[in-house]
Amino acid sequence: MSKGNFRKRRKEVDIARIELLPEDVFPEEAIFEEYKGRRVSNILLEFASPLLAKVSKDDFFQFKTMIYFAAISWNFSYFKAGQERKAALDRFLLGNKLFEGENKEKMYTIVDNLSLRKVNSFWQYDFMLVSFKAIKGEKENSVMANAIDSSLMNIPIQ
């Protein structure tokens, strides 16, 4: 490990790894961290910027929650808006007590709004997020993400 990596690692205070799709079902060479010359994590942070704008740098829980909402919205933007997306989201969130009742409706709204942002402003990035690590640093929070080509999911294009 180089000195630079050692110093960088010491500044990491906490890491939360979130798996959105099961990595073991995809060939290792299909998973990537860069797309068209840009890091997937940078694209995700830019996409999540409206959610992160009011999050305090000290609130790591809120940071990783907003990244999670953004990542789910990104992936579910590939489902047709309306009942198809709601049904897919229901299957994904099945049994999760955080998303019951009123919270489920809020989740639909967040996913629909961010999915529209994905389609309108990030259309050129055709991948689905597999997993990400939310990283709490001493000075700022960050994220490391990986993805697969969306065609591997076999979801009909809208």
Give domain status of residue 83, yes or no. Answer: yes
Give domain status of residue 38, yes or no. Answer: yes
pLDDT digits (tens, 9 = 90+) for 13-36: 788 899 999 888 899 999 999 999
Return d(Cα 34, Cα 147) in angstroms, integer: 8
Give domain status of residue 1, yes or no. Answer: no
Which domain covers residue 17, as residue numbers? 10-150
Give domain status of residue 97, yes or no. Answer: yes
- Other CB atoms within 10 Å distance of the CB of residue 40: 22
Task: Write the CB contacts of 118 (distance below 8 Å, at least 6 apart in sequence).
Answer: 47, 73, 74, 77
Return d(Cα 47, Cα 44) in angstroms, integer: 5
**Mean pLDDT of the region 124-138:** 94
Give domain status of residue 90, yes or no. Answer: yes
Structure tokens at 93: 């969130």
Give domain status of residue 155, yes or no. Answer: no
Give domain status of residue 50, yes or no. Answer: yes
Burial 83-108 (b: 16+ CB within 10 A, else e): eebbebbeeebeeeeebeeeebeebb
Judge whether 137 and 8 are in contact, CB under 8 Å. no
CA angle 106, 112, 117 (to 5 degrees): 125
In this prediction, residue 138 has a pLDDT band, given cuts at 50, 70 and 90, of: confident
Task: Write the CB contacts of 23 (distance below 8 Å, at least 6 apart in sequence).
Answer: 31, 130, 131
pLDDT digits (tens, 9 = 90+) for 50-98: 999 989 889 999 999 999 999 999 999 998 888 888 888 888 876 677 6
Helix (H, G, I), strand (E, B) or coil at 13: strand
**Mean pLDDT of the region 9-16:** 68
| Domain count for the chain | 1
